[in-house]
Structure 1
């Protein structure tokens, strides 16, 4: 049997409701002979009689049995059409974002919260990844957006810079004996006030394998004031780096927004200096060229707005 025409199912349900070919034809905007012909074609296709015509129009036993099924099919079809319309309008769907912890903390989580309020039918899946991991996932199609501290590379990728924030020197409020120049046992440990005072002190910094750009930027910032940092604590997240600072073991350079958030929550750390330099920590959002839609455009704009 060929697929049943939804239009004929709708004719069937309206006629079943009115039990009058003339009134049903008016409601369906079709001629009465045309409606009669379509019902006969449906009955022939199904192999059963849906209506008895004499002495008046009435549902047969088969018609009564099939009517709820026809109504369910039409309801599902209407839901399908409505869902398609919502998707086409950019108001619903499933989107996966690969992001570094830094971008999440700087504004991406706020953007996702705003989208949840604005688009309740949107489902956002977030995977916390390094920049390199998120770029690979984007190219392989495992995420729809990649957020990191650099633009994703490749001719098939489009990137937008979200922010370029200064670094802050974060120091412990209660330094331990570990906070001395590496190799030195003399003197009393104390927290430095400026980046230039940090020569020889143990540093917490991103592992280069986790974020080459951040690692190299921290080294370059130290180089601007005349020293190479002693990279004693090499981490994958700012949280781990600042945990080491809070323990009084080292100092660190962190994005200003991350440093302020930690300083506000943790009395064991403080911002000693906001570093005045053209070298900044950048945040980017990248997507595959040609993979845009109303929904993806809307999400990207919401993320960009959250970082303004």
Structure 2
């Protein structure tokens, strides 16, 4: 039994999923790594195959804190890369769920990509870019043949490739976009990170009601007062409907987070009540996770 096989058969705790990302240089490994990281994977780039087992041993010691690990392995590892098939087979005998993703693209597309970034192919040496591509394709033939997931990126831009990765590796019930609905007071300034801003100063201000002045939009009395005003419910219905295609578009474009700011004069009554109601409506949208933040609540 080889050292690799002995390591694989050792008594390890059950681990999570492991994805080995490899493939042709210029086929999109960096884009895939970024997309996986956005999905919550722990990503390690340019790791020699021989270091896979020690890395996974360390992640198992994290006691479930790193359930999904993605490792980018490629010809930048030079002579060490030739051991990848043997290492992968050994890992697959362990208790970890190990899969290999191979990224490919046509030769002419790869040539254009290298020319666009004005960088040499890592294997071209004194030859041409195409010489390097052909040599790499020869070295990777056995890895490509045994890959669990094969993606041809010839017709993809970086956004389309990221979308494909998200489709493959997102949990079925996972949110594709997180929106923060933030209440604020205009007198304290606009939130600098707001993507969209709505102004609630078209509604009567509960501040001028002696019974409501000391309360906030989180209190039921203020909420009922604000929602009973003309135009409040119509605004909420219309604005939520208007945001639906925007948030769906954010998901298609892989924009992971946005801030919808809802303002009133002091950020205490109207904006707080309306932000909560808007968030409740947006939470029903598919693929959207909603958080509520009251930026200026509690200020004097």
Q: Which has the higher strand share?
A: 1
Please, what TM-score do these two structures have when normalized by structure 1? Answer: 0.25
Largest Rg, 1 or 2:
1
Please, what TM-score do these two structures have when normalized by structure 2? Answer: 0.26
